[in-house]
Amino acid sequence: MRILVTVFIIVTTGSAQGQQSRRCGFDAGASPPGTSSPRSLAGLYQLEWHPVTNAWQRSVRRERLWLWPTSPSDTSLERRGIRPAPGDTLVYPLFGATLPDKDSPHTGDSLRRGTDPIFPPVLLFAGWPHDTTQGKGPSLVLLFGTVQTRQADVESLDGAGVGVRLDHAGPDGLAGAYNRWGRVLTDSGFLCARRIR
């Protein structure tokens, strides 16, 4: 009897996540994300933040998100001489920035030049499994407004910001649940990210 109850809870939780991604209005892709190269997720997205916590007080917020590949040769725009840790492009394959939803998609080049790749407002964290023989890809978390950086020998889990655990990814977009990533209380809910280019 105990095993049946546990299985039921797991199925219910998985079903709830699937229902959230269906509410995105586009095909959010496979669950879990089947991409073996998180770098393929670089591009421009239209974001919809759907709050669940205090949803009656908050409306859906829309933004645009640019994601660009990280590089071992990146250097900080804000702090001279600071470079990423060796091999960090596997852990942080993409960095990015958000802008208002109505901005032109052509602002991407100027936004990229002005975004610090070591201390970016958005980072994609790829938690690669220790056993890669099973063919599993990484667990992917988009970090927005956190204190997490690509600076070598610095690890911080304090502060504000949210992490979006991507449970769906495909050619048309991404989807996942978000919650606080640091100690500061934030909204929670789910994110729909429709790929524009």
| pLDDT one-digit tens code per residue, 120-168 | 999 999 986 655 555 566 789 999 988 888 887 776 666 778 899 998 8
CA pair distance 21, 189, nearest whole angstrom: 11
- The reported pLDDT for the residue numbered 32 is 58
Looking up tokens 């809870």 gives 9
Asked if 150 contacts 74 with a C-beta cutoff of 8 angstroms, the reply is: yes
Average pLDDT over residues 98-102: 85
Question: Which pLDDT value is given to residue 155?
Answer: 67
According to the model, what pLDDT value does residue 61 have?
87
- Asked if residues 108 and 66 have their Cβ atoms less than 8 Å apart, the reply is yes
Of residues 67 and 136, more confidently modeled: 67
> In the block, which residue shows the tokens 């991409």?
35
Query: C-alpha distances in angstroms, 110 versus 89, 114, 194?
Result: 23, 6, 22
pLDDT at 107: 75
Q: What is the pLDDT of residues 1-39, one digit of tens each?
A: 444 333 332 333 343 444 455 578 777 666 656 556 899
- Position of tokens 């979006």? 164
Q: pTM of the prediction? A: 0.79
Domain boundary assignment for the chain: 2-195
Better-predicted residue by pLDDT, 153 or 188: 188
Which residue type, as a one-letter code, is found at position 31?
S
Percent of the chain whose predicted confidence (pLDDT) is above 90: 40
